[in-house]
Each structure stands twice: as structure tokens, then as C-alpha cells.
Amino acid sequence: MFQNFTFDGGGRQINAQASYIRYEAETSGAINALVRIRADGQDLGEWLPGDSAELPAYVTMIEVTPVAGAVGSVRIGVGKVSVSRVSLSGQVGTTMVANKLPTSAAFANTAKTVTNASAQLLAASGTRAYLLIQNKDSTGSIWINFGAAATQANGIRIGPGGNYEPAVVPTGAIYAIGDLANNANVLTVEG
């Protein structure tokens, strides 16, 4: 689960268990958007909006301190992410994945029909880096499962008007079943 927390020019201490931190946005228009991030007292350096890190262990205290009065938001939780600009000079024993975050990607929106019999919704794709499954129906639910037939007992339920957007994107085949005989209001987005 991910949560967004805002901070003002004085910074913020966040008491929450997390293994992922992302500096979402600077919202005041400050010229210097840099913030210093500390996790359980360990300095993770100065960050710009969009910087993020998956930590090697859970932390319980995250401190956000604006370098020059920035105001904005951070997102914390548990998940797989990349680091784009975190400065770790002088840090000992810190292991992080360092990749430049993509600045663009090609997405494919596809209308799908889910019935009350399990069927493959999406084929396996080793290059899938983003996934959204949206149930646009106003009354019917769908259930999805990974690598095997979906049932209401083993699937992840997406209720009417709901969606599924995982932090860690599955690359295997995805199966779906619904509680309507014919739900043509399902949308998938892959990238």
C-alpha cells in the first residue's frame, strides 16, 4: 500500500513502515526544489521531484527537510522502484538499484470482454513494464489471476468502476472471470 504525505517549508517527520520512498512533487513553485531525505536517521542525500528509492530494509521514520523552503509531497510504501538522482556519497552498507526513470513509454489501450467463464485476459509479456486493468461496468465485478484460470475464490476482485494498477508489474499471462454473462466494459492498458 502506498500513501502520499505533504510537507511544508519546515519539513515533516513521517512515522510509517516503508521500504519505498518517492519525492512526488514540489508544489509551491520554489526555485530550489531540493529536499534532504533521512530514513531511520540514515541520510539518503538531496532529492529532486521524481527521485525515488527502494530501501534494502523496512524503515519506520522518514524525515523530509526542504533545502530552501520547498513545499510538496512524498509517497511511501512497499514496492519495487528505481532511483534516478539520489546522492549516496559517503554511505556505507546501503544497497540500492540505480536506474534512470523512463521519460516516455508506448501504451496500448485495449477494450476486453470478460464472461462468467475464466479466459485469458492478457498473454504473457516479458516486456510489460506497466499494467492497468479497469472494470468500467456499473454493476458487474471481475476477478483476475496470474498464470492460471481465475475464480472468485482465487482471484483479485475488481469491483464495478474499480481498477487494478500493481506497483510490481506481472509479466505472465493474466486470466479473468466475471459475475456477468458478458461484461464488455473492461479496459486494459499495457506499456
Is residue 142 a part of any domain in this protein? yes
Q: Are residues 130 and 63 part of one domain?
A: no
CATH code, domain carrying 38 = 2.60.120
User: How much is the pLDDT for 146?
Assistant: 92
Ramachandran bin of 135, using left for φ above 0, alpha for ψ from -120 to 50, beta for the remaining angles? beta
Is residue 139 a part of any domain in this protein? yes
Is residue 164 a part of any domain in this protein? yes
Is residue 152 a part of any domain in this protein? yes
Q: Are residues 68 and 127 part of one domain?
A: no
Is residue 89 a part of any domain in this protein? no
Is residue 84 a part of any domain in this protein? no
In tens digits, the chain (191 residues) has pLDDT values of 577 788 888 888 888 778 888 888 888 777 778 888 888 888 888 888 888 887 777 788 889 888 887 888 777 776 544 434 444 444 444 444 443 445 556 888 999 999 999 999 999 998 888 899 999 999 999 999 999 999 999 999 999 998 888 878 888 999 999 999 999 999 999 98
Residue range(s) defining the domain that contains residue 50:
2-77
Is residue 186 a part of any domain in this protein? yes
Is residue 90 a part of any domain in this protein? no
Number of compact structural domains in the chain: 2
How crowded is the C-beta side of 32, counted as CA atoms within 13 Å? 10
CATH code, domain carrying 129 = 2.60.120.770
C-alpha span between 174 and 100 (Å, rounded): 28
